[in-house]
Chain A
Amino acid sequence: MRTIFAALALTTALTLSGIAMAKPVTLTTTLKNYGGNGAYLAIYVTDPKGAYAGSLWMAGTKSKYYEHLSDWYRATGGNTAEINGITGASVGAGRQMEITLDLADALFDAGYILHIDAAVEDMRDSPNEIAVPLTAGGASQSVQGRRYIANFSYGM
């Protein structure tokens, strides 16, 4: 169990819309016992058109391996400025990661989708491991990942 607090200034697009209201959101990710090295996780948001809107968290510090988070890498070109200050350690198999950050209200119930790309050394890459719409009603509902994530939920 790990708790991280981060104040998030999310994407120019959202700040430009002039909405400053935000509330703390806790993202809880529990990994399966997939039997491998620690997983790299990229947590990011896409807008209603499906375009990359911004990153929320990067678990894993070696930028050399980010290319295996292939959707995130494709969207950002691997630009580490996107995750400046919101980077932490990779997450071991069977472990849980909990992050609390301030998310703008405007992200909820507006068609934004939260994605997690996952990758483990010498195992298959798993882009889009998780894709959940950000809605007030969806909070605290557990979602299963495709390969490495046993369950994920966001709570307000």
Chain B
Amino acid sequence: MIVRALHRWPGLLALALVTMLAVTGAALSVFPAAERLAAPQAEQAMSVADLAMRIKATIPGVEQIKRSPSGRITAYWFDGGTPGSVVIDPATGAAVASADSNKVERWLTNLHRSLFLDDAGRIAMAAGAAAMLVLAVSGCMLVARRAGGWRRWFAPLRRPLAGRVHVEIARGAVLGLLLSSATALWMTASTFGFFPDKAVVPELPSTVSGEMGARLESMPLLAETPVSSLRELSFPYPGDPTDVFTLKTDSGTGYLDQGTGATLGWSDLSGWQRVSEIIYMLHTGQGASLLGLLLGLMALGVPAMGVTGLFIWLAGRSGRPRIRDNAAPGRAETVILVGSEGGSTWGFAATLHSALTRAGQHVHAAPMSMFDPTRFSRARRYVVLAATYGDGNAPASAKGFLDRLARLPAAPDAPLAVLGFGDRSFPAFCAYAEAVAVAAEGKNWPLLLPFDTVDRQSPQEFARWSRTLGEALGIDLELNHQLVHPETDALTLVSRRDYGHEVQAPTAILRFALPRLSAWQRLTRQGFAGFEAGDLLGILPEGSPMPRFYSLASGSRDGFLEIVVRKHVGGICSGELMGLEAGGTVAAFIRRNPAFHADRNRDALILIGAGTGIGPLAGFIRANTSRRPIHLFFGMRHPGSDFLYREELEAWSAADRLSSLSTAVSRGASPRYVQDALRAEAAEAARLIREGARVMVCGGRQMAAGVSEVLTRMLEPQGLSPAVLKAQGRYVEDVY
């Protein structure tokens, strides 16, 4: 929680400042590289004496020679009252270009470091750099935590688009941002004189020979020093016998007698100075232009991360209820751990949290994925509220909980209550919560309350459970949970196609018009903006507070919402939908389901579905404009009656959006199920999986179990299994 707050607030507050720093920094990174390319370089063994002589021959009035870190050599002279300067080709000593400083670069530099506001601006920009440093460090910790450890830094992610883009950019750019922001802070501190890194010069010689005109090549120090280590060489004032040559190199500063050529004094760079110079090089890329370009490129990720970060924040705000007065983890007596997929379990957590807080307790609510007993040092009891995702899997906010629990040397002493949320019409009812309860028992975690469940978000069951919790705590606890209804829109049916009457499975493909979106929804991709095939359409049937979910067979780019519905006997929602005529409306909302999106890489997809399960799979194929290989296995009852999407599949096949189609027909002389069709193609399917293909299964529970069995046998010889593929995100199911 603290790490996330450390990431969120500097990010939002400093968004403009950090973006300004990043964009100007990226633009500035180009200059050292351009200078490096344009500057004629000195040959390897050339000495400063050689260079000075060549320049003196073409520019007799030369006063000073400077070498920049890029290797560019500039000569300065003073002639007849006017100063001049040119870039020199060290090979000839001749002028090759004007040495005027670049106006654009200077303008950008001043904007980048001080917003043209001098010291106040420098402090503001340093605050921006500090914000960037905090963001980079806290962001790394968040990524590591989400991915399940530092070793899994590059593990693939299943998250909504904004979150994915945010993290993918961060993974690539964060090292550069850490370096740039840390060096920026050092440079600001150095500019304000916080470090003893000022230049050290030798004592001015008290006696000089008083002669003039020693030859440059006879000065040992100049002959020994290679041009590559030269910083600058200043000539004595013409006609002033008391003046000296001043030589600055990358190791120090010294004086030379202009009459004898002898070295009159030398002082080395101090350690602080060397460090400051290295920091300067790392930050500006001057003397390390490739690194500079790389840092510039990484900085360009900052604006993109700013925008996606803003979306993540907005989406997070709308996704779950705010927990008011959430106690700090280290102060909480009661810790509520929430495993929620769509946010409704958070609603129950918020109700429990506020009731306990009103009863005078310090209560901390956190996602189950943040479970870490060392953070909850004063916890006297734990309450786990957990939904279940799919076939007994962890819901989104509980990822990694069981692993964390398993890794603990011992369960916490504070007792535990587990409450599962689910739907009894599914066989895996509260299976995840149950798995948590079993794992806790295995660890000998003391019980506060026995395992209990809430069916279909029933407020009555929740109230009953809360009374037993109240008894256990010795307080009067009566929770009156108001279901938070998601905001729905009225969707208008545009068209329907009916199938399956002949085989006693009335099914329809329903197509709804997209509701009008506000500009804000479009921008933040909330509501009906930016959904994909595989996301869920929640429908609130008349007379029931419980939404039913249908997998979407279309994405927002298609311009319509399409679902496949089969009529169930006595089903309120399917009955309402099947009775709908074109022009009729239903109340609906979108729930994102990033775990069941077709990812964006080029590896083959193996799609397996039966009956209405073809919906999202058809959506993936429809969206496959990049023509990645997609192989579809589809099970139906009879091709004459419920061959859903038949015409489209033919057209998509002709357009290379679908590579192959294998069907299985379950009615007739030789009934076959989709898993049989898969088994028939086992060799080919196994080859595709070996080469990286991803398997996506959608349909009924029995079918999914059958597919898993076939896959297990098929992959065994390769030392693979559905479980391994699942862990890699290459085997996903949407099962009902």
- Interface residues of chain A, those whose CB is within 8 Å of chain B, are 35-37, 50, 62-64, 66-67, 70, 73-75, 77-78, 122-126, 128, 144, 146-147
Contact = CB atoms under 8 A, between A and B. Distances in A.
Q: List the 4 closest pairs (A to B, CB-CB), nearest first.
A: A67-B199, A122-B101, A124-B76, A147-B83
15 contacts: A35-B103, A36-B101, A36-B106, A63-B198, A64-B198, A67-B199, A70-B246, A74-B201, A77-B201, A78-B198, A122-B101, A123-B101, A124-B83, A124-B85, A128-B237
A71 to B, nearest CB: 9
A73 B64 contact: no
B64 A125 contact: yes
B474 interface: no
Given A50-B242, A62-B191, A73 B83 contact: no
A73 B191 CA distance: 17
Given A73-B199, A122-B106, A146-B81, 9 more contacts: A50-B242, A66-B198, A67-B201, A73-B201, A78-B198, A124-B85, A128-B237, A146-B78, A146-B83
B110 A37 contact: yes
B193 interface: yes
A78 B199 contact: yes
Contact of A64 (B81, B106, B190, B204): B190
B234 interface: yes
A37 B106 CA distance: 8
Contacts of B193: 62-64
A128 B199 CA distance: 20
Nearest to A123: B101
A144 B83 CA distance: 13
Nearest to B78: A146
A62 to B, nearest CB: 6
A64 B193 CA distance: 7
Interface in B656-714: none
A66 B199 CA distance: 9
B362 to A, nearest CB: 50
B204 A70 contact: no
B198 A67 contact: yes
Q: Counting chain B CB atoms within 10 Å of each CB, which of A36, A66, A74 scores highest? A: A74
A122 B234 CA distance: 16
A70 B78 CA distance: 17
Nearest to B242: A50
A57 B181 CA distance: 35
Contacts of A77: 201, 203
Contacts of A64: 190-191, 193, 197-198
A91 B192 CA distance: 18
A66 B103 CA distance: 23
A131 to B, nearest CB: 10
Interface of B: 64, 66, 76, 78, 81, 83, 85, 101, 103, 106, 110, 190-193, 197-199, 201, 203-204, 234, 237, 242, 246
Contacts of B106: 36-37, 122
A35 B100 CA distance: 10
A73 B123 CA distance: 27
Contacts of B190: 64
Contacts of A124: 64, 66, 76, 83, 85
A35 B101 CA distance: 9
Q: Counting chain A CB atoms within 10 Å of each CB, which of B103, B199, B242 scores highest? A: B199
Contacts of A123: 101
B699 to A, nearest CB: 69
Contacts of B237: 128
A46 B702 CA distance: 99
A147 B83 CA distance: 6
A74 B199 contact: no
Nearest to B100: A35
Nearest to B244: A74
Contacts of B201: 67, 73-74, 77-78
A84 to B, nearest CB: 14
Contacts of A126: 83
A133 B191 CA distance: 35
Nearest to B276: A64
Nearest to B103: A35
A126 B237 CA distance: 12
A59 B78 CA distance: 24
A67 B58 CA distance: 29
Nearest to B74: A124
B647 to A, nearest CB: 70
A83 B81 CA distance: 30
A149 B211 CA distance: 32
A125 B203 CA distance: 20
B691 to A, nearest CB: 56
Contacts of A73: 199, 201
Contacts of A66: 198
Nearest to A78: B198
A7 to B, nearest CB: 25
A64 B110 CA distance: 17
Contacts of A144: 81
Nearest to A147: B83
A63 B66 CA distance: 22
A72 B186 CA distance: 27
B234 A70 contact: yes
Contacts of A74: 201, 204, 246
A118 to B, nearest CB: 11
Contacts of B242: 50
A55 B83 CA distance: 26
Q: Counting chain A CB atoms within 10 Å of each CB, which of B191, B197, B198 scores highest? A: B198
B265 to A, nearest CB: 10
Contacts of B66: 124
A37 B109 CA distance: 11
A52 B384 CA distance: 79
Contacts of B203: 77
Contacts of A37: 106, 110
Contacts of B197: 64
A80 to B, nearest CB: 9
Contacts of A70: 234, 246
Contacts of B204: 74-75
Contacts of A50: 242
A148 B66 CA distance: 19
A67 B252 CA distance: 13
A74 B237 CA distance: 15
Contacts of B64: 124-125
A128 B107 CA distance: 28
Nearest to B101: A122
B207 to A, nearest CB: 13
Nearest to B64: A124
B278 to A, nearest CB: 16
Nearest to B76: A124
Nearest to A144: B81
